[in-house]
Every structure is written in structure tokens, then in C-alpha cells.
Amino acid sequence: MRRVAVIGVGMSKFGELWNMSFRDIVISAGTEAIEDANLEGREIEAMYIGNMSGGRFISQEHISALIADYSGLASINVPSIRVEAGDASGGVALKEAYISVASGIHDIVIAAGAEKVTDVGFAGEIMDSTIDQEWEAFPGATLAGLYAMMARLHMHRHGSTEEDLAMISVKNHRNAVNNPKAQFRREIRVQDVLSSPYTAEPLKMLDAAPISDGASVLILASEDVARKYTDTPVFIDSIIQSSDFIALQSREDILEMRAVKTAVRKALRMAKCDIGDVGVFEFHDSFTIAEMLLYENVGLCSSGEGHLLVREGEVEIGGRYPVNPSGGLKACGHAVGATGIRQAGEIVLQLRGDAGKRQVDAERGMAVNIGGTGATAVVSVFRR
């Protein structure tokens, strides 16, 4: 297995992109990544693209072929692979792209993620297709409702509060102010979150990430090839995917994210480091409670102490474990299939020192992308 580096990062604006089609969005991010990597399209040997629900959002399956075509790659017969794993689609696409380079099959590949959600009016219902339809959604559970149960149990068991969760949202909005690609570049106050309407008590509208249009693209290359294109390659030291039961009711403890724990353990071992060696994090905050549970399940703190980390400011830029300097899903936006790639892109920018006013000083970074309520987890460790 060869070492794999990220040599290019591109990202469309995230948000409600009414005047851009799915293909426009992907091409905009792809062009930026290819320019960043300083290469030509015809040097690309394969494309992996994470997309959650082209079928329901834009009535288009086979989007691997669509994007290969519109990016010019079909004219040179480049294989294009769509990967889907709910909102972990991007992370899984990155993992597959990584394998194709690490294995020696390809030298330069695209790892992309994209979603166009504003062409339909029922995006929330589509997001519920990441949970078990027959045993969760049909009987009435929603993605928000399931996360609300986790939040309720955490509050009951550990004494966390709605204010603690609100502070996560406030932090992510504050970080996004300095991210030019973010959907919401404005600060909010704890009171704003607390006075926003409940969507699934105790979670409120401002505890939830928006569902956004957007695309992110990374260019991966083998180490020797990477050195030809850039003086600042960022290496993927490890990327691990893991599974858990899809329905919350099947899990022994709904505050334990087994897929995340397993993937973190393996990813740190493969990257030959401890969690304390990692200096910047992008965590999957589809809901504020998800980010808080990730503090615990990734191992930034002990189980039941996630809210203490928030209170102590340890997850802020400047804190011990800066989480979501990009603004996270909450404020940068959650363009579902793009999220796992966008997270990785942020880590790469941070490690290259290209993160502008949101820059964190770190040598290693970690991205954690999860699908649904955590049935799929992808954990990756990067190093400059």
C-alpha cells in the first residue's frame, strides 16, 4: 500500500443555489480543485463521487456517468463511481478513492461529493431515508426525533442542558463567519437558539444543520506523483469505515456510537498516533447533539462529559480540541453527499495553513463523517 496525498481542494459555495443545476455545482467545485492541484483534466484516472439521493432530489440516478460526461472525463473513458451511505456518502467515497490510489491501481483520482436539494419541497422526508424505513420512519420516527431521544437521554443521565447544545451551534456560527464558502456567515447568540422553535423536543431549529446545495472535490495522488505537483501535500495517514445497527432501537446504548468508536481506534492505530496528537477536527454536527456525542465517542473526553468540554471552551478555535473551524454542517452547510469531502477539504486547508482567519495551528487533523444516526462512520486522520 502506497501513501496517498491530497494535492487539490475545491468547493462550491454552500447554500440555496437556485441558479445552479446539480452539474453546474459539481463542475464549479471540480474546476477549483483541478486549478488548486495545478493539473489538467486528462491526467485524472478515476472519479469517486458521494451523493445521497440524486434519485429523489433531482430524479437522476447514474450521476457518476452524468458527472464524468460534464467534466470531460467521459470523453477519455475515465471510470466514475457513485457511492452512497446516507450523509456519510462523501466520507465513503473518499475512502474508496483512497483505496484506489493506495493500491497502486490509479495515480491521480478525484474524490467528490455533491448534492442538489432545493429542486424539491420535501427534503426533510428524504433525509429520513437514512434511517430504517420499515422499523423507524414508517412507524413515525424522524431523523430529528431520533437525535432528540439521544439528547433527552444525555440530559437525563449526565445533566447536560439545552444551553450546552445551543453553545455548539453558536460556536459553529462564529467560526463560519471566517469561511467564505459557508452558508451562514453570521453570529448567533445562545438566546437565538433557545428561542427558535422546537423541531423535536429538546432539539430546536437552530440545533439542526440546514440541508444545502453544494459540492466539494479533492484530488488525491500517490506520494511520488504528489511531490511533482505540490510542495505542500497533505497525507491521508488513515481512513477507516465502520458500521453499527441502523435502527436506534437495536443498539445497546443509544449514546454509544459503536461505529465511530471502532473506526477511531483503528484510524489512530493506522496513523500511529494518539487523539492528543490531533490538533484540528471536523465533526458531523447534523444536530448539535451529534457533535456533542462525537466529543465523547471519539475520545476528546470521557463518556457523559461532552457538555463540560463545551462549557470550558475546549472545542473553540484556540481551545485544546478545535472542532469545526469551518462552521461545521450547522453553519458551513450540509450538502449531504458533499459533507464528508468538505470536512476533509477543511482539514487539508488547515494543515496547509490556507484557512485564513479561521486558521488553527496543527500538524494532524481528523474528520468524522456519519450516516443517519451513526450506522455508518468514516474517520480519517491527515498529516501535513
| 102 interacts with a second copy by CB under 8 A | yes
| 343 interacts with a second copy by CB under 8 A | no
Closest CA to 104 of 224, 17, 219: 224
Q: Which of residues 62-81 bind a second copy (CB under 8 A)?
A: 62-66, 68-69, 73-75, 77-81
The contact mask relative to a second copy for 314-333 (x = CB under 8 A, - = no) is: --------------------
Of 126 and 310, the one with the shorter C-beta distance to a second copy is 126
Q: Which three cell numbers stand for residue 362?
A: 496543527
- Return the ∠ at Cα 47 (arms to 356 and 380), rounded to 5°: 50
- Rounded to whole angstroms, the Cα distance separating 230 from 25 reads 26
φ, ψ dihedrals at 108, nearest 5°: -135, 120
Among the listed residues 134, 139, 197, 318, the single contact to a second copy using CB under 8 A: 134
CB of 315 to a second copy, least distance (A): 26
- Rounded to whole angstroms, the Cα distance separating 89 from 51 reads 6
Q: Which residues contact 71 (CB under 8 A, 6 or more apart)?
A: 26, 27, 30, 41, 47
CB of 159 to a second copy, least distance (A): 30
Among the listed residues 10, 20, 33, 82, the single contact to a second copy using CB under 8 A: 82
φ, ψ dihedrals at 353, nearest 5°: 80, 25
Count Cβ atoms within 10 A of the Cβ of residue 318 and give its class: 0-12 exposed, 13-18 middle, 19 or more buried.
Answer: exposed
| 341 interacts with a second copy by CB under 8 A | no
| 241 interacts with a second copy by CB under 8 A | yes
Q: Which of residues 253-282 bind a second copy (CB under 8 A)?
A: 258-259, 262-263
| 222 interacts with a second copy by CB under 8 A | no
Q: Using omega within 30 degrees of 0 as the cis cutoff, is the peptide bond preceding 79 cis?
A: no
| 369 interacts with a second copy by CB under 8 A | no
Of 31 and 243, the one with the shorter C-beta distance to a second copy is 243
- Rounded to whole angstroms, the Cα distance separating 384 from 382 reads 7
- Residues binding a second copy (CB under 8 A): 1, 21, 23, 52-56, 58-66, 68-69, 73-75, 77-86, 92, 95-96, 99-100, 102-105, 126, 129-134, 137, 240-247, 250, 258-259, 262-263, 371-372, 375-376
